[in-house]
Amino acid sequence: MFSSDSTLDKKTEKKTGSSRDPLRTRALLLNTAFAEVYRSSFQATGLDRILEKAKVTKGALYHHFASKEELGYAIVDEVITGITLRKWVNPLADTADAIDTLIDIVQGTSLTATDVEKGCPLNNLAQEMSPVDEGFRKRVGRVFRLMIGSVSSALLEGQKRGQVRPEIDPEETATFFIATYEGYLGLAKNAQDPGVLRSGIRTMTSYLEGLRTRHA
């Protein structure tokens, strides 16, 4: 009786995790996979570890994602794209002042030791996977273009409003700025030192201030 109850419980638990609320299970798998990949790279992350952390069965995983690659692609298309929309695209789309918003974004970068040591989730996948998997490379490239495009549009809009120096090229300036931002996250990841990023935030802020129109 006790034993059969316990079996029933397990079955119920599995059902909850796999088919009762499939969207919730899918989101749980994605977020768990994102955290594991962010912590220890895509290639070093085993599916078993993700299943163990998410407490989801292999059957449920394969119901949502055909392979480890498909799960990885969804991390880029959904989780990392979502972060990029919230952090860059949305604030820049509504802003009354592109430079103010870019400075807010830079100054909002996490300086906790664990975040600094992990680097940028997008750039980590870019550096690890671009040479070995076209599917990752193209998806990551799409997110970089989304990020750069949103900075570029905001700078152009700032030029129209007379807030951003008219002589700069918005697209090239946006690319320069994102390269710098990613470069700093990479240096800080190697140094495991929030001080590197703190100095970067200061220097990127003066760089951004220098893009404002100079009123004589």
Stretch that binds a second copy, among 47-55, 63-71, 104-112, 203-211 (CB under 8 A): 203-211
Site for a second copy, residues 110 to 139, rule: CB under 8 A: 117-119, 123-124, 126-128, 130-132, 137
Q: Is 41 left (phi over 0), alpha (psi -120 to 50) or beta?
A: left
Q: How far is the CB of 136 from a second copy (least distance, A)?
A: 9
How open is the CA angle 134-137-139, to the nearest 5 degrees?
A: 110
With beta carbons less than 8 A apart as the criterion, state whether 201 and 107 touch: yes
191 interacts with a second copy by CB under 8 A:
yes
Cα 129 to Cα 39, 132, 148, distances in angstroms = 15, 5, 20
Site for a second copy, residues 155 to 174, rule: CB under 8 A: 172-173
Q: How far is the CB of 86 from a second copy (least distance, A)?
A: 22
Which secondary structure element, helix H or strand E, spans residue 171, and what is its range? helix 170-191
Find, among 153, 213, 151, the residue nearest to 182 by Cα. 151
Residue of 33, 182, 194, 211 interacting with a second copy (CB under 8 A) = 182
Stretch that binds a second copy, among 11-19, 45-53, 158-166, 197-205 (CB under 8 A): 197-205
Nearer to a second copy, 180 or 213 (CB): 180
How far is C-alpha 36 from the geometric centre of its chain's CA atoms?
A: 13
Nearer to a second copy, 12 or 190 (CB): 190
189 interacts with a second copy by CB under 8 A:
yes
Tell me, by CB under 8 A, how many residues bind a second copy. Answer: 44
How far is residue 177's CA from residue 164's CA, in Å, rounded to a whole number?
14
Residue type, 176: F
How far is residue 87's CA from residue 147's CA, in Å, rounded to a whole number?
9
Nearer to a second copy, 123 or 159 (CB): 123
- Residues of this chain that interact with a second copy (CB under 8 A) are 39-41, 43-44, 117-119, 123-124, 126-128, 130-132, 137, 140-141, 144, 172-173, 175-176, 178-184, 186-187, 189-192, 196, 199-200, 202-204, 207
